Amino acid sequence: MNKIRVALIGVGDMGTGHAMGFDQIPHCEIAWIADSNPANVERALRYVRNNEPRIAADYRELLDQADTFDAAVISVPNYMHHETAVAFIGRGKHVFLEKPVAPTLAECDDIIRRAREAGVVLQIGLTYRYSAIYRRMHQELQADRLGAVTMMWCKEFRDPFPPVDWFYDEKKSGGALVEKDCHHFDIFNWMIGAKPVRVFATGGQHVIKDGEANVITNSYTHYDTKVIRSTSIVDHAWVIVEYENGSKANLGLCMYLKPRNRMEEGLEIGLLGSNGGQMIAKRDRTIDIFAPEDLSKDRIDFEQATDSVNGGHTGSQRQRYEFLHSVESGDQPYASGEVGRQSLLVALAAERSMKEGRYVYVDEWQ
């Protein structure tokens, strides 16, 4: 089998994780690393043990060397997603693009259209789609353990974004709900299996406030603590999503816990079913299923090492293997551009709802 040659575009936190992960896949070659920050490159190279990539300070340097790699793994800031993705798609390269697809629907749709016309793979970094625990949750639903999913919730209570300015600029990130919760809106869409219709959200700035000296620390980032004074994103929100089939979902977001979420349940995602059954996932590690008929409880435990690398995001390594499989086979990725678009629509509707204080209908973008 010929190795698939990938170019890593951007090696901040997520890109460094990709460097570590792709380096451990035998049929993959990391041909290039491109990042304008030498410190990012130096850090990423510490995790590259099996490859000897060439280095570029600007991704544009790679565009004239298209014969040296097969696919681009893009982990640049959100506001650069469109320009970077379309550049590589234009060279006929398969693209793994970190979530969200883009901070605006127009850019998202243009990326999807260009990838379709070019006949290249476009996979979005919605890593939960590749996680063993959430795939098992979906399998249990397909086995009719709950009947129809009637209600869902997600508690995303955590520490702030990394101390990097673009995260805190709504025009560059798309907003907190676009940058962070496109993951969770995708889980809602996936498990409920119906079209989202309207969204209501409320949020604001409790702790991380615009114009104040916000000392930002983050539990997983490579970046040093930093004072950020300008922030146009919310640090908390509640979001209600209503679906075409009558199902409802609720997301709670908090972005100022210290030093991180220390509660036993951690990230909590739960479902209620039409048969009265209940299912809840906690900390990406356990699923509890409560059957309505015999009052039994099933506990399913998961070892994250099965689909991540060295404690990385759940599903992170499986998504890399499946991207390479799509490149080889031409199969549509499970986290396709259209899947990314649907989660982005919910996030954009939530951001608009917070600003305008009203229900926002998803078809306002159609």
Domain locations along the chain: 4-126, 128-312+335-365
Higher pLDDT, residue 139 or 293: 139
pLDDT band, residue 313 (cuts 50/70/90): confident
Asked, colleague to colleague, whether 4-126 and 128-312+335-365 share their fold, the answer is no
Q: So what's the pLDDT on residue 366?
A: 66
pLDDT reported for residue 309: 81
**pLDDT for the residue numbered 303:** 80
pLDDT score, position 1? 64
Q: Which residue has the tokens 């300070």?
A: 57
Give the C-alpha separation, 333 to 330, whole Å. Answer: 9
Residue 287 clears pLDDT 90, i.e. is over it: yes
Q: What is the rounded average pLDDT for all residues in the chain?
A: 96
Task: Tell me how far apart the alpha carbons of residues 256 and 190 are, in angstroms, rounded to a whole number.
Answer: 28
157-207 tens-digit pLDDT: 999 999 999 999 999 999 999 999 999 999 999 999 999 999 999 999 999
The percentage of the chain sitting over the pLDDT mark of 70, rounded to a whole number, equals 99
Q: Look up tokens 């929100």; give the residue.
A: 237
Q: How far is CA 83 from CA 41, 100, 111, 114, 164, in A?
A: 21, 14, 9, 12, 20
pLDDT tens per residue, range 84-143: 999 999 999 999 999 999 999 999 999 999 999 999 999 999 999 999 999 999 999 999
The string of DSSP letters for 211-257 reads TS-EEE--SS-SSPPEEE----S-SEEEEEEEETTS-EEEEEEE---
Average pLDDT rounded to a whole number, residues 344-350: 98
CATH number for 128-312+335-365 (one of 3.40.50.720, 3.30.360.10, 1.10.3720.10, 3.90.660.10): it is 3.30.360.10
Going 89 to 91 to 96 to 99, the CA torsion angle's sign is: negative
Give the model confidence (pLDDT) of 324-335 as tens digits. 999 999 999 999
Beta bridge partners of 252: 155, 238
Identify the residue with better confidence: 309 or 89: 89
- Whether the Cβ atoms of residue 248 and residue 240 lie closer than 8 Å to each other: yes
Q: Tell me which residue has tokens 């040093």.
A: 224
Q: Which CATH architecture does the domain made up of 4-126 adopt?
A: 3-Layer(aba) Sandwich (3.40)
